[in-house]
């Protein structure tokens, strides 16, 4: 049984993993894991927030647009190869749950699923979203990261629970 843990217990670890091999964003009724390396944890509107950024070309983007929530799953190091797979292969082409031998379980506070093999996971409700605005983006970032003009959608997830 997963136990609820406070934000402060996992915040730094999550940020380190974002900068490292990445973590998994899981969305969809037929859940799809996608590796993410960009995101922020913080406090807005008196709520704890996890923002994630998804380019419209991703299969995950369509799932996020259909859903009102998502989970973010942090895996033990032994799954680093699976993080690579989920960050280089699209679920348009393969079944990532099958390829990684992951097991999906229903979240407690939202409709999404999480990966049972996770060390811990976040359950988030989408309370705001917007595309990055190139007009107000640092021109150097715009040039470096968006030569194809495929600006991320930024999703603001209210963290409803964190479970270990
Ligand atoms: C370490 C790492 C971090 C990544 N971070 C992001 C991210 O924050 N946002 C994003 O849209 N794609 C990111 N990607 C790319 C997606 O994970 C990748 O394109 C994936 O194959 C998309 O899967 P899907 O088509 O099944 O959604 C990252 C890839 C890696 C390897």
> What are 89-106's pLDDT values in tens digits?
999 999 999 999 999 999
pLDDT score, position 71:
98
pTM of the predicted protein model: 0.97
pLDDT score, position 1:
73
- How is residue 110 annotated by DSSP? S
> How is residue 156 written in tokens?
């603001």
CATH 3.30.540.10 fits 7-50+59-129+156-163, yes or no: no
pLDDT tens-digit readout, 124-155: 999 999 999 999 999 999 999 999 999 999 99
Report the pLDDT averaged over residues 37-65: 98
In Å, how far are 27, 97, 137 from 50, measured between CA atoms?
A: 14, 23, 21
> How is residue 142 written in tokens?
């715009």
Query: Ligand 1 pocket: which of 18, 19, 22 to mutate (most atoms <8 Å of CB)?
Result: 22
pLDDT score, position 164:
96
- pLDDT above 70 coverage of the chain, percent: 100
Among protein residues, the one whose CA lies closest to atom 9 of ligand 1: 54
Could you tell me the distance, in angstroms and rounded to a whole number, from the CA of residue 59 to the centre of ligand 1? Answer: 10
Among protein residues, the one whose CA lies closest to atom 18 of ligand 1: 87
Query: Ligand 1 pocket: which of 15, 21, 36 to mutate (most atoms <8 Å of CB)?
Result: 36
């Amino acid at each position: 049984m997963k136990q609820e843990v406070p934000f402060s217990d996992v915040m730094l670890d999550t940020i380190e993993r974002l900068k490292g091999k990445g973590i998994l964003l899981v969305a969809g009724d037929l859940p799809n894991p996608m590796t993410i390396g960009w995101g922020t944890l913080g406090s807005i509107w008196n709520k704890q927030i996890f923002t994630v950024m998804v380019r419209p070309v991703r299969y995950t983007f369509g799932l996020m647009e259909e859903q009102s929530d998502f989970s973010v799953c942090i895996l033990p190091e032994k799954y680093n190869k699976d993080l690579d797979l989920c960050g280089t292969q699209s679920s348009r082409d393969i079944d990532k749950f099958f390829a990684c031998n992951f097991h999906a379980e229903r979240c407690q506070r939202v409709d999404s699923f999480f990966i049972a093999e996770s060390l811990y996971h976040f359950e988030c409700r989408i309370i705001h979203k917007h595309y990055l605005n190139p007009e107000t983006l640092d021109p150097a970032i715009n040039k470096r990261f968006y030569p194809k003009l495929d600006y991320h959608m930024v999703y603001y997830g209210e963290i409803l629970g964190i479970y270990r």
